[in-house]
C-alpha cells in the first residue's frame, strides 16, 4: 500500500507554503500620499466652510422658488426690454472691441517680456525679476486693476483698457515664456553658432516654432478678456454690455432683458470658442 | 514646389498682411472706444506714482489687518469649498457623459452642451441673478462660483477621462471586470493626479473671481475692498491688495509644488 506520505518521501514533494508576506498590490509612492493629503485637506475645509456658511437667514425653499421664477423669465422669455436691440448690440460690440484690443496689447508687450523672461534665452537674474513682477501683477484681480486705473484716468473705457491690458500682459508673458522654454536648446545654439543676432534668433527660430501655441494661448486670453470686459463693465461701470447687464439685473430688475443680454453674450463666446478651435486645427495640422 | 525666393516673398507678403490687419483692428478699436494710446500709456507711470504715495499702508491701516485677514481667509475657504463641491458634481457628470465611460453618444452631446452653457453664462450674470433670490450672503457667492466652476470642470474631466483612462479601461474590461470595477480600479486612480491638478487651478482662479463676486454681492474680501475704495480710504485699500497678492501667490506656489509631487 502506497500512502500519500510515501509519495512525498520519494519525490521530495512538499506542500506549497503560503508566501511569508502578502504580495504588495500597490507600491509606496509620494504621489499617492500627496493626493490623499490634498483631498483630505480640501474636503475638511469644504466641510467646515459649508457648515459655517452665512446664509443671511434666507429660506432655501422660498429662494429656490424665486430663483426658478427668475430663471424662467431669463431663459424662456428673453426680450430686449426698454433699451431696445440696437443699443444692446452696440454695447456688445464695445465689450468685444475692448477684449480684442486689450488682447492685442497684451500679446505684443507680453511677447517682448516673454522673450526677456525665458530662461533659455537671456540672463537668468533679469528673467527672474520680470517673472516675479508678472506674478504680482497676475495676483491682483483684473477688476482691482481697473478700479486702480480709474482713479487716475477716471471711470470709463480708458481705465478698463489699461486694467485689462495689465492682466493680459502678465498672463501672456507667463504662457508665452513657458512655450519658449519648451524649445529644444539645440535650435537656438545652432543659430547662435552662425553668429545670428538676438532678435534674428527670436524671429527666425523661436517665433515659427511656437506660433501654434502662441495663437492658441492668445485666443484663450481673448475669451478670458471678453468675460473680464463684461465683469469690468458691471463692477466698475466701465461701459459695454456688462454695464447694461448690471443695470438690468441690479437696478431695473428687468429679467427678460437680462435673458436677452445673456443669450447675446453666450452667442459671442461660442463664436469665439469656435474660431479658436478652427485656428488651432489650422496651425496643428500644418 | 515653388522656388525658395518665391516662398520667402510669399511668406513676407503674408506676414505684412497679418501685421497690417492687426494694426488696423487696433487703430479702429481705439478710434471707436475713444482711447488715446499715447495719453493712455503715459497714465501708467502716473498711476504707479500715485499708488506709491496713496496706497502705502499707514499705521491706521495696519490696525485693520486682522479684519482684512479674516475676510480674506473666508473668501479663500469659499473658493475652495465651491471648487470641491463643483468637482464632485462634475466628476459624476463627466463619468456619465464622457465617450469612454459614458452611457451613450446622446448623453455625451447633452452633457457637453450643458457644460458649455454653464461655462459661457458670465459670472456677473450668475452673481446678479442669485443675489436677487438669495440676498446678500456668502451662500450667494458660493453658488455663483459653484455654477461657473461646474461648467469648466465637466469639460476638463471629460477630456481627461477620454485622454488618459481609455487604455487602462480597455485592459481591465478585457479581464472581464464589471463597469464599477473598471471605474473604481482603472479610471479613478488613473485620472486622479490630473484631476487634483485641475481642482487646484480652479481654486486659484476662483480666489481671484471671488473678489469680483464679492464686489457685486457684497461679501468677503470684495466687499471689504469696495467699502474702503468707495470711502476713499486708500491706505486700507493698499493693505487689502497687499493681502490679496500674498495669499494668491502663496496658493500658486503651493499648488505648483503639489503638482510637482503628484504628476
Question: Which span out of A254-258, A281-285, B93-97 was modeled with the highest average pLDDT?
Answer: B93-97
pLDDT band with cut points at 50, 70 and 90 for residue A18: low
Are residues B15 and B107 both part of a single domain? no
pLDDT of residue B86: 95
Are the beta carbons of B145 and B210 closer than 8 angstroms?
yes
| Region of poorest pLDDT, from B52-66, B144-158, B189-203 | B52-66
Residues B91 and B135 in one domain: yes
Q: Which of B54, B71, B88 is the last residue of a domain?
A: B54
* One domain for residues B189 and B103: yes
CB atoms within 10 A of CB A219: 19
Are B94 and B173 in the same domain? yes
Question: Cβ–Cβ of A35/B134 closer than 8 Å?
Answer: no
State how far residue B40 is from chain A, nearest Cα, in angstroms: 7
Pairwise CA distance, residues B58 & B130, whole Å:
37
Split at pLDDT 50, 70, 90, the class of B83 is very high
Chain A residues inside the 8 Å CB shell of B40: 153, 158, 161-162
Interval B165-176 mean pLDDT? 84
What is the rounded average pLDDT of the residues B62-73? 86
Confidence of residue A225 (pLDDT cuts 50, 70, 90): very high
Q: What is the ipTM of this complex?
A: 0.83
Nearest CA in chain B to A90: B32
Percent of chain B with pLDDT over 70: 99
Give the per-residue SS3 of A33-63: HHHHHHHHHHHHHHHHHHHCCCCCCCCHHHH
Least confident of A50-64, B85-99, B249-263: A50-64
Considering the domain architecture, whether residues B94 and B212 belong to the same structural domain is answered as yes
Q: Nearest by CB to A30, which of B33, B125, B261? A: B261
What is the per-residue pLDDT for A73? Answer: 81
Over 60: is that where the pLDDT of A241 sits? yes
Q: What is the CATH number of the domain that holds B112?
A: 1.10.3720.10
The number of folded domains in chain B is 2
Q: Report CA dihedral (B220, B222, B223, B227) to the nearest 10 degrees.
A: 140
H-run or E-run covering B101: none
Going by pLDDT thresholds of 50, 70 and 90, the confidence category of residue B84 is very high
What is the rounded distance in angstroms from the CA atom of residue B78 to the CA atom of residue B207? 8
Task: Name the closest residue on chain A to residue B116, using Cα atoms.
Answer: A270
Is the same domain home to B72 and B48?
no
- Supply the DSSP string of B175-208, one letter for each residue: TT--HHHIIIIIIHHHHHHHHHHHHHHHHHHHHH
B103 and B34: one domain? no
Asked which of A183-187, B2-6, B43-47 is least confident by mean pLDDT, the reply is B2-6
The Cα A43–Cα A45 span in angstroms is 5
Domains of chain A: 98-285 (1.10.3720.10)
Of B237, B258, B180, give the one whose Cα is nearest residue B55. B237
A17, pLDDT greater than 70: no
B43 and B151 housed in the same domain? no
CA distance A156 to A129: 32
pLDDT, residue A26, reads 66
Integer Rg of chain A from CA: 30
What is the rounded average pLDDT of the residues A90-107? Answer: 91
Q: What is the mean pLDDT of residues A243-252?
A: 84
- Contact between residue A225 and residue A169 where contact means Cβ atoms under 8 Å apart: no
Task: Compute how many other C-beta atoms are within 10 angstroms of the C-beta atom of residue B246.
Answer: 14
**What is the separation, in whole angstroms, between the first and last Cα of chain A?**
83
Residues B19-29 pLDDT 10s: 888 888 888 88
Task: Indicate if B66 and B23 belong to the same structural domain.
Answer: no
Of B133, B200, B209, Cβ closest to residue A66:
B133
A31: chain B residues, CB-CB within 8 Å: 193, 261-263
Pick the range with the lowest mean pLDDT from A137-141, A163-167, B162-166.
B162-166
Q: Left if phi > 0, otherwise alpha if psi is -120 to 50, otherwise beta: which for B232?
A: left
- Position B254 scores a pLDDT of 92
In terms of residue numbers, what domain contains B22? Answer: 4-54
Out of A40-49, A119-128, A169-178, A262-271, pick the least confident. A119-128
Identify the closest residue of chain A to B230 by CA–CA distance.
A147
Mean pLDDT of chain A: 83
**B244:A242 CB<8 A:** no
The per-residue pLDDT for B50 is 80
Contacts with B216 from chain A: Cβ below 8 Å:
234-235, 246
Our CA angle for A228, A229, A231, nearest 5°, is 60
**A67 chain-B contacts, CB cut-off 8 A:** 129-130, 133-134
A150 contact residues in B (CB cutoff 8 A) = none
Q: Are residues B111 and B223 in the same domain?
A: yes
Amino acid at each position: 500500500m502506497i500512502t500519500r506520505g510515501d509519495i512525498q518521501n520519494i519525490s521530495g514533494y512538499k506542500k506549497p507554503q503560503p508566501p511569508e508576506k502578502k504580495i504588495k498590490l500597490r507600491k509606496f509612492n509620494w504621489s499617492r500620499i500627496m493626493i490623499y493629503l490634498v483631498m483630505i485637506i480640501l474636503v475638511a475645509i469644504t466641510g467646515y466652510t459649508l457648515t459655517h456658511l452665512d446664509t443671511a437667514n434666507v429660506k432655501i425653499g422660498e429662494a429656490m422658488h424665486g430663483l426658478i421664477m427668475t430663471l424662467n423669465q431669463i431663459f424662456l422669455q428673453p426680450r430686449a426690454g426698454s433699451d431696445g436691440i440696437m443699443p444692446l448690440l452696440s454695447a456688445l460690440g464695445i465689450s468685444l472691441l475692448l477684449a480684442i484690443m486689450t488682447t492685442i496689447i497684451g500679446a505684443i508687450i507680453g511677447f517682448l517680456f516673454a522673450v526677456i523672461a525665458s530662461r533659455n534665452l537671456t540672463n537668468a537674474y533679469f528673467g527672474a525679476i520680470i517673472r516675479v513682477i508678472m506674478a504680482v501683477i497676475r495676483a491682483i484681480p483684473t477688476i482691482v486693476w481697473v478700479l486702480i486705473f480709474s482713479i487716475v484716468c477716471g471711470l470709463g473705457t480708458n481705465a478698463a483698457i489699461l486694467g485689462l491690458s495689465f492682466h493680459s500682459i502678465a498672463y501672456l508673458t507667463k504662457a508665452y515664456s513657458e512655450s519658449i522654454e519648451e524649445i529644444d536648446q539645440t535650435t537656438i545654439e545652432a543659430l547662435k553658432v552662425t553668429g545670428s543676432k538676438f532678435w534674428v534668433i527670436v524671429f527666425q527660430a523661436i517665433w515659427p516654432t511656437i506660433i501654434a501655441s502662441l495663437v492658441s494661448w492668445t485666443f484663450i486670453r481673448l475669451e478670458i478678456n471678453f468675460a473680464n470686459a463684461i465683469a469690468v463693465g458691471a463692477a466698475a461701470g466701465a461701459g459695454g454690455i456688462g454695464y447694461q447687464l448690471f443695470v438690468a439685473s441690479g437696478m431695473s430688475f428687468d429679467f427678460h432683458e437680462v435673458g436677452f443680454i445673456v443669450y447675446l453674450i453666450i452667442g459671442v463666446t461660442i463664436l469665439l470658442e469656435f474660431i479658436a478651435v478652427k485656428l488651432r486645427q489650422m496651425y496643428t495640422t500644418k | 514646389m515653388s522656388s525658395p525666393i518665391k516662398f520667402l516673398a510669399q511668406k513676407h507678403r503674408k506676414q505684412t498682411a497679418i501685421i497690417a490687419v492687426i494694426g488696423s483692428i487696433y487703430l479702429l478699436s481705439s478710434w471707436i472706444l475713444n482711447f488715446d494710446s499715447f495719453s493712455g500709456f503715459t497714465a501708467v507711470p502716473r498711476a504707479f506714482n500715485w499708488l506709491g504715495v496713496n496706497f502705502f499702508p499707514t499705521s491706521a491701516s495696519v490696525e485693520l489687518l486682522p479684519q482684512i485677514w479674516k475676510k480674506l481667509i473666508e473668501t479663500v475657504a469659499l473658493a475652495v469649498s465651491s471648487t470641491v463641491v463643483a468637482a464632485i458634481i462634475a466628476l459624476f457628470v463627466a463619468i456619465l457623459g464622457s465617450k469612454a465611460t459614458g452611457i451613450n453618444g446622446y448623453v455625451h452631446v447633452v452633457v457637453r452642451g450643458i457644460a458649455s452653457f454653464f461655462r459661457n453664462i458670465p459670472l456677473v450674470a450668475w452673481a446678479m441673478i442669485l443675489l436677487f433670490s438669495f440676498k446678500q450672503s456668502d451662500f450667494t457667492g458660493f453658488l455663483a462660483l459653484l455654477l461657473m466652476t461646474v461648467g469648466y470642470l465637466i469639460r476638463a474631466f471629460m477630456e481627461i477621462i477620454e485622454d488618459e483612462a481609455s487604455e487602462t479601461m480597455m485592459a481591465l474590461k478585457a479581464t472581464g471586470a464589471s463597469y464599477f470595477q473598471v471605474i473604481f480600479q482603472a479610471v479613478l486612480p488613473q485620472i486622479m493626479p490630473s484631476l487634483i491638478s485641475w481642482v487646484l487651478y480652479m481654486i486659484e482662479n476662483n480666489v481671484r473671481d471671488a473678489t469680483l463676486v464679492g464686489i457685486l454681492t457684497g461679501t468677503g474680501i470684495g466687499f471689504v475692498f469696495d467699502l474702503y475704495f468707495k470711502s476713499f480710504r486708500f491706505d486700507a485699500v493698499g493693505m487689502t491688495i497687499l493681502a490679496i497678492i500674498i495669499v494668491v501667490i502663496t496658493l500658486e506656489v503651493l499648488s505648483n509644488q503639489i503638482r510637482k509631487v503628484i504628476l
